[in-house]
Amino acid sequence: MDYSALWAAGLHAFSLWPLLSLCAGVALGLVVGSIPGLNDTITLAVLVPVTFAMPPDIAFPLLVGVYCSACFGGSFPAILLKIPGTASSVLTAIDGHAMVKQGKAGMALGIATYSSTFAGTLSALVLVFFAPLLAQYALKFGPAEYFSLSVLGLSTVVGMGAGNAMKSAFACLLGLLVAMIGMSPEAGFPRFTFGSFWLFEGLPLTPILIGLFGLSVVFEMLSTRAETAAGDRIDRTPIRFGDMLLSASMIKRLLPTWLSASALGNLIGILPGAGMLVAIYLAYERVRRRFGERCGQGLPEGVAAPEAANNSVVASSMVPLLSLGIPGNSTSALFLGALLIQGLRPGPGLFEASPDVAYLIVICFVIANLMMFPLGLLLARLVPNLIRAIPQPLLAASIACLCLTGAYAIGNSVFGVVVAVCFGGIGFVFNRLQVPLSPFILALVLAPVIERAFFQSMALSSGSFTYFVTQPLSAGMLLFTLLFLLWPLGRRYIRRRQQALAS
Amino acid sequence: MIAEAAPEAFDGKKFIVKNMPGGGAVVGQTYVSSAPADGYTLLAMTSSVINNSLMKDVSYDLDSFTPLALYNLDPEVIVTSAKGDLPDLKAFLAAASHGSVSIATPGNSTSHHIAALALAQQQGLDFRYVHNASAAMQLQQLMGGHVQAGFMSLGEAVGPAKDGNIRILAVMDQARSDLAPDVPTYQEVTGDDVQWGTFRGIGAPAGLPDEVEAELASRLQKVLTSPEFIERMAAAGYKVDYRDDAAFRQYLDKTATQMEQVIPLLESQS
C-alpha cells in the first residue's frame, strides 16, 4: 500500500473540479435512482461516451458519484410509493412503505439515509485498504460455489411474505419458470420461444421489474379510485428535517444490523452475477429470523438491513474490476470501458502504473458515500412533499409515463413495453392475492446462475454430484441452506415442547 | 474511423456510415447483399457474415459479397491459468489426447467455442466445455484455476497475461504477434498449420464491375494503410493488418470451409 500516493490522491480529490464533478455525480445518481425505469446502468451508458473528452480527474468522480448514489436513490420511491427505483431496493419497499402507512415516512427515509451512508462508507474504506485481498477470495469461487451460494439465496424465500410459505414458494417457482424462457445457457437450445426472435435472449429483467412494481401500482391506484375515492389516505403532514434525524438510541439499536448487513454485502457482493441480490436477501433474512412476525410491518431494521447491504455491495462490486480487471456486472463493465478509453487498464498493475487515478477513484468512493448523507436528506425533504402535493390521478399518469418510457429505452424497442405491461398485470394480480413479489424476482435472477453453475460443475466433475459437497466452501453453504430450510420446523418443534412442558 | 480517413483517398468525397443493429448484424448484412452493385454501398464485414450465412436462416451467403480489403485480424489463442498444470502447448495437447481437458468458453456457439470444437475435431482432442455468460466470467474461472484452459482472442488475453494471471500457450496465426512476441504460433510447436481468428474488413455487394472493384480496392488500401488510420486504430487498441482483396477472399473461403466442417458438431451437441 502506497500511502503517499493515497494521501496525494486524497488531497487532489478535495480540489475544486474533482469535488464539483463528484457532487454533480452524486446528485444525478440520486435523481435517476429515484425515478422508476431509470437506473445507474442506463445513466452510465449515456455518460461514459460524454466523459471521453474529459480529463480523468473530472470524468471518474462524476461516474463514481452516479454509481454510488443511484442505488440509494432507489429507496425513495420504494419507501414512499412502494415502487423500488432499482432492483436493489425491492426489499426496502416492504418495511419502508409499511412505516409510511404508520405515518413514519420521515423516520423511514432517515433510516435509509443513515444506513446507506454508514454501510457505503464502510465498504468504500474496505475497497481502499483490502481490495487485492478480497479479489483473491473472489477467485476461489468456482462453479460449485456459485451453485451453492445461489441455492442458499433461494432458501431465504421460505420465510418471506409474512409467514405464508406456500405463497412465497409459489412465487419462487413461477420466477424459475419465467427464467426458463430463452436459449438454454449450456446447450443453446431455445425454450418456450415459440419461434419468436424476441424471446431468444429471454425476457429482459428491467422491463419485468418496471411492470411488476411500477405499473402494478398504477393499476392499483386506478382501481382504488374507482372503488373508494379516499380509501387509505396517507397523512399529508410535510416531512421536516427533524423527523429524519435519528436519535442516539435508534442508532445504537440499528448498529448491529448495519454491521452484519455490510459484512454480508462486502463478502458476497464481490461475486459477479449473483452477489448483489443474494447479499441483500441474506441480510433481510437475518433480520426476519431475529424479529419474526414483526418484520414486514414497519420494522426499522427491515429498512436498515437491505439498505446497508445494497450500498456496501456498490463499492465491493468494484473490487474485481480494479484488482483483477474483471467487471462484475453490467455497470462495472461500462466503468471498464471508461477506464480503457482513458488509457488505463484495470488489473493488479493499475495501482502501480497510474496511482494518481487509481487512488483518486477509490477515494471518490469514500467521499461520494459521505456526500450522500446531506444530499440524501435534502432530497428526502423535497421529494416526498412534492409527491404529496401532486393529485393522485396526475401521479399515476406520470408514473405510468416514466415506466413505459424506461421500458422502451432499455432495448429501444416496443418489446420492452409489452413485457412491462404484461408483468404490470401479473404484479397487480399478485398484490391482490397477497403473493409476495420478492421471491419471484430472486428466482428470476438466480435461475440462470444456478443452471449454468450446475452444468459447469457437471462438466468439470464428469457428472458426479458429490462435487458440490467435496468443495469445502460449497459444502458449508449447502449446510447453511439446510439449516435455513429446517429452522422454521425446528422452532415450531421447540415451541411445542415448551408449551407441553408448561402445561 | 475509416470514414474519417477516407476523404483523402476518395477525392474529398465522404463515407456515410449507417448503423443497422439487430439480429446479430443480420439486418445490415441483408441490406448490403441486396443493394445495387455499383460500388456506392459497402459493408463493414466481420466474422459474423460467415456465421450468419451458414447457421441462420438468411437470404444471403458469402457469395453475395465482393471482399475488398481486410484491415484487422485478432487471432485465436489458447490460454491456461498461470497456476495450472499445463505449462505449454505440448503438455496441453498431450493431456487432451490422453484424457479430457476442461475448456472455459464465453458462451455456447460463440466463435471461441467453435474454434475449440474445430481444433478438437482436427486433432482428435477431448474437451469438456464449461460455458459462461460472458468473457469476464470466463476469465475469472481461468484465473481462479477452476478450469484447465480456455480459448479467447489475443487482444483479450494480452492484458491478464502481462499481469501474470493467465498464460498464453499458442497463437493460431501464421506468425507471432507484436503484442505477445514470446508466444509461439501453433505451427511452430506442432508443425500443423492451424489458423483461427476474428476479422474486420470491407466488402461490397456481389457482381461489382471489375474496374469498380479494382478502383475501390486500391483506394481502400490507401486509406487503410495510411499512418493516420493506423494511429487511430492503435489508440483504440486494434492493430491494423492490411490484406488486399484477393488475400481477403482467400481468407474468407478458408474460414468458411473450416466453419462448414464444424457446424455439424455444433448441431449434434445440442
The ipTM assigned to this model is 0.76
Q: Which residues of A293-330 are buried (b: 16+ CB within 10 A; e: fewer)?
A: eebbebbbbbbbbbbbbbbbbbbbbbbbbbbbbbbbbe
User: For residues A310 and A87, is the Cβ–Cβ distance under 8 A?
Assistant: no
List all residues 6 or more positions away from B210 whose beta carbon is below 8 Å from its beta carbon. Answer: none
**B141, B225: one domain:** no
Q: B129, B158, B190 — which closes off a domain?
A: B190
Q: Is the pLDDT of residue A233 over 60?
A: no
Q: B156, B190, B224 — which closes off a domain?
A: B190
- pLDDT band at residue A225 under the 50/70/90 scheme: low
Supply the pLDDT for residue B25: 61
Closest alpha carbon to B109 in B48, B27, B172: B48
Q: Mind listing the pLDDT tens digit for each residue in A54-74?
A: 888 899 999 999 999 988 988
Q: B150, B165, B190 — which closes off a domain?
A: B190
- Mean pLDDT check: name the lowest of A178-187, A401-410, B31-40: B31-40
Give the residues across from B76 on adjacent strands. B153
pLDDT more than 70, % of chain A? 95
Q: Is A353 on the interface with B (CB under 8 A)?
A: no
Q: Mind listing the pLDDT tens digit for each residue in A456-477?
A: 898 888 888 888 888 888 898 8
**What H or E segment, with its residue span, contains residue A280?**
helix A275-291
Number of domains forming the structure of chain B: 2
**B176, B82: one domain:** yes
Domain that holds residue B93: 74-190
Query: Taking chain A, what is the end-to-end CA distance rounded to the nearest angstrom?
Result: 64
Mean predicted lDDT score pLDDT of chain A: 83
**B118, B181: one domain:** yes
Searching chain A, which residue's CA lies closest to the CA of residue B81?
Answer: A139
**B169, B93: one domain:** yes
User: For residues A199 and A180, is the Cβ–Cβ distance under 8 A?
Assistant: no
Tell me what the mean pLDDT of segment B97-111 comes to: 85
Q: Is the pLDDT of residue A273 over 80?
A: no
Tell me what the mean pLDDT of segment B125-150 comes to: 88
Report helix, strand or coil for B267. helix
Q: Is the pLDDT of residue A229 over 50?
A: no
- The set of cell numbers assigned to A355 is 496511482
Query: B163 and A189 in contact by Cβ < 8 A?
Result: no
**B173, B235: one domain:** no
- Mean pLDDT check: name the lowest of A208-217, B86-95, B217-226: B217-226
- The set of cell numbers assigned to B96 is 487432451
Helix%, strand%, coil% for chain B, nearest 5: 45, 20, 35
- The set of cell numbers assigned to B211 is 474496374
Query: A340 and B139 in contact by Cβ < 8 A?
Result: no
**B69, B203: one domain:** yes
Supply the pLDDT for residue A52: 76
Supply the pLDDT for residue A120: 92
Supply the pLDDT for residue B241: 80
What does the alpha-carbon distance between residue B223 and residue B41 come to, in Å, rounded to a whole number? 17
Tell me what the mean pLDDT of segment A485-503 comes to: 79
Q: What residues of chain A lie within 8 A of the CB of B146, using their CB?
A: 142-143, 460
Any idea what DSSP says for residue B102? E
- Mutation for testing the A interface, residue in B146, B148, B268, B269 having most A CBs under 10 Å: B146
What does the alpha-carbon distance between residue A496 and residue A502 come to, in Å, rounded to a whole number? 10
**B37, B95: one domain:** no
Question: Which is more confidently placed, A353 or B129?
Answer: B129
CA-based radius of gyration for chain B: 19
Report helix, strand or coil for A285. helix
Tell me how close the Cα of B194 comes to any Cα of chain A, in angstroms. Answer: 26
Cβ-Cβ contacts under 8 Å between A and B: the total is 78
- For chain A, which residues make up each domain, given as ranges? 3-141+248-389
When CB atoms are compared, the residue of A141, A197, A452 closest to B133 is: A452
Supply the pLDDT for residue A419: 92
Searching chain A, which residue's CA lies closest to the CA of residue B268?
Answer: A187
User: For residues A311 and A116, is the Cβ–Cβ distance under 8 A?
Assistant: yes
What does the alpha-carbon distance between residue B197 and residue A120 come to, in Å, rounded to a whole number? 43
**B87, B182: one domain:** yes
What does the alpha-carbon distance between residue B192 and residue B185 come to, in Å, rounded to a whole number? 10
Report helix, strand or coil for B45. strand
- Mean pLDDT check: name the lowest of A334-343, B16-25, B198-207: B16-25
Any idea what DSSP says for residue A235? P
- Mutation for testing the B interface, residue in A145, A186, A270, A461 having most B CBs under 10 Å: A186
Supply the pLDDT for residue A371: 92
CATH of the domain at B186: 3.40.190.10
Q: Is the pLDDT of residue A84 over 80?
A: yes
Supply the pLDDT for residue A467: 86
Supply the pLDDT for residue A28: 92
Query: B102 and A459 in contact by Cβ < 8 A?
Result: yes
- The set of cell numbers assigned to A57 is 480527474
Q: Is B24 on the interface with A (CB under 8 A)?
A: no
How do beta strands A190-191 and B166-171 pair?
unpaired
CATH of the domain at B34: 3.40.190.150
Q: Is the pLDDT of residue A348 over 70?
A: yes
Residue recorded with cell 490522491: A9
- The set of cell numbers assigned to A211 is 411492470
Supply the pLDDT for residue A370: 92
Highest mean pLDDT among A100-109, A130-139, A349-358: A100-109
